Amino acid sequence: MQESVVLEAHEIERALRRIAHEILEAVEGNSDLVLLGIPTRGRFLAQRLGQLLKAIDPDSKIELGTLDITMYRDDSVAAERLIHTTEIPVSGIAGRVVILVDDVLYSGRTVRAALDALNDFGRPSHVKLAVLIDRGHRELPIRPDFVGKNLPTSKSERVRVSLSEIDGQDQVVISK
C-alpha cells in the first residue's frame, strides 16, 4: 500500500487557524455560535476550532458539542459500529448559528444524516459546514462552507486523518 502525507501537524494547525478566521468573518459579528463536532475526529477538530475562535475573539460566545449520526445514516450501518455520545449545549441550538465540524467530506451522506439529527434538537438560524479535508465524490447536493484543504482523490484511495488526541499525532495521509 502506497502512502503519502498530504498534511503535517503544522499545516493542520494553519488550516484550522484560517478556518477560524473565515468563520468569524462569515458570521459578521453574530458571535452566538455552536460548534458541533461529528464523532470521532470531528469532535476534536471542533474543540480546537473553539479554542482558536476564543483566542481570536475573546468576547465571542461559543459553545461546543458533539452530534453522533450513526442512527441517522441512510446506508446500512455496520452492526459493530459504536454509537458515540451526542452532547448538545444546555441552551440548545434553536435560533443560533450551528457549525458542523467533520474531518473528511466525501459522499455527503454523513452531513445529510447530521442535518436530520439536528432537526431532532431544534431549528438553528443557520447551519454551516467546516471540514478539514474535502476529497470530492459528492453523492448529494452538499458543499462545505469552510475547507482546510481540497484534496482531489480517486475513489480507490483512502484518506486518513490522524489527530493527537486519539491517534498520538496530527497528520493527514492518503493511501492507495
Query: Binders of another protein: how many residues, by CB under 8 A?
Result: 20
Nearer to another protein among residue 31 and residue 86 (C-beta): 86
How many other C-beta atoms lie within 10 A of the C-beta of residue 28? 7
Pick the binder of another protein from 58, 79, 90, 141 (CB under 8 A): 79
Q: Is 78 in the site for another protein (CB under 8 A)?
A: yes
Q: Is the dihedral of CA 167, 168, 169, 173 positive or negative?
A: negative
Nearer to another protein among residue 24 and residue 100 (C-beta): 100
Q: Is 112 in the site for another protein (CB under 8 A)?
A: no
Distance separating alpha carbons of residues 160 and 173, to the nearest angstrom: 5
Distance separating alpha carbons of residues 16 and 3, to the nearest angstrom: 23
Q: Contact region for another protein (CB under 8 A) — 75-83, 97-105, 153-161, 163-171? A: 75-83
Q: Contact region for another protein (CB under 8 A) — 13-21, 115-123, 145-153, 159-167? A: 115-123
Three-state SS at 48: helix
Q: Is 40 in the site for another protein (CB under 8 A)?
A: no
Distance separating alpha carbons of residues 38 and 64, to the nearest angstrom: 11
Distance separating alpha carbons of residues 40 and 6, to the nearest angstrom: 20
Q: Is 116 in the site for another protein (CB under 8 A)?
A: yes
Nearer to another protein among residue 44 and residue 72 (C-beta): 72
